[in-house]
């Protein structure tokens, strides 16, 4: 068993090394639904929600801080982080990384509430990649598994609002860390 793990690890390291040293990829928005995605929103809402992540991708690639921040609600709150802190994080990412791209795989999309209290929960597994300007190493900058992106419509656009109620969990589950970018 130990020999198989060692071999698998070596293959993984070689694969990552080869991939990381390859020329930069011209990134495209990479959003997808799993084959069994639970969709509890109408087709137009789904199209608008996915377009929000397409806009995020375009803003990342253009390194357009104002456009990416336009996708966040002014009421954004995620594990104690507010919109101003997210702006600083994105600014630092743009300063230190190039060729940013993200992947989002949605497994559940559901509307909760109604009217001005309508929120959409998008259960997602994904990653944000970037290439270090200093080392040219391709690096995962953030990744998440079955995280819920919460969005609400403001001024005709879907915006990222953080976690429900903005409350931090007192103790995070083992192996769970906040993923504030989306």
pLDDT digits (tens, 9 = 90+) for 130-172: 999 999 999 999 998 998 999 999 999 999 998 655 444 444 5
Is there a domain that residue 10 lies in? no
Got the DSSP string for 69-105? Answer: HTTEEEEEEETTEEHHHHHHHHHHHHHHEEEEEEEEE
Give the CATH number for residue 113: 3.10.450.50
pTM over 0.85: no
Q: What percent of the chain has pLDDT over 70?
A: 73
Is there a domain that residue 159 lies in? yes
Q: Please give the C-alpha separations between residue 70 and each of 52, 59, 140, 160, in angstroms, as whole numbers.
A: 10, 10, 24, 9
Is there a domain that residue 1 lies in? no
Distance of CA 19 to the CA centre of its chain: 21
Is there a domain that residue 14 lies in? no
Is there a domain that residue 178 lies in? no
130: tokens are 């970037």
Helix (H, G, I), strand (E, B) or coil at 162: strand
For the chain, what is the domain count? 1
Is there a domain that residue 2 lies in? no
Residue 20 pLDDT > 70, yes or no? no
Count CA atoms within 13 Å of residue 61 on its CB side: 15
Is there a domain that residue 16 lies in? no
pLDDT band at 74 (very low <50, low <70, confident <90, very high): very high
Check residue 179 and give its pLDDT.
56
Is there a domain that residue 142 lies in? yes
Query: CA 69, 74, 79: angle at the middle one, nearest 5?
Result: 90
pLDDT band at 114 (very low <50, low <70, confident <90, very high): confident
Full domain range(s) for residue 112: 25-166
């Amino acid at each position: 068993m130990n020999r198989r793990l060692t071999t698998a690890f070596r293959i993984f390291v070689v694969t990552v090394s080869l991939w990381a040293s390859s020329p930069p990829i011209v990134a495209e928005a990479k959003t997808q639904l799993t084959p069994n995605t639970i969709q509890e929103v109408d087709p137009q809402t789904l199209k608008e929600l996915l377009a929000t992540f397409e806009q995020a991708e375009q803003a990342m690639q253009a390194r357009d801080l104002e456009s990416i921040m336009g996708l966040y609600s002014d009421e954004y709150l995620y594990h104690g982080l507010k919109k101003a802190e997210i702006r600083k994080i994105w600014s630092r990412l743009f300063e230190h990384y190039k060729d940013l791209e993200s992947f989002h795989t949605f497994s559940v999309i559901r509307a909760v509430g109604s009217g001005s209290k309508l929120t959409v929960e998008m259960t997602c597994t994904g990653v944000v990649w970037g290439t270090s300007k200093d080392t040219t190493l391709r690096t995962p900058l953030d990744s998440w598994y079955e995280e819920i992106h919460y969005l609400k419509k403001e001024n005709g656009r879907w915006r990222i609002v953080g976690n429900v109620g903005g409350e931090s969990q007192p103790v995070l589950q083992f192996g769970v860390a906040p993923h504030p970018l989306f």
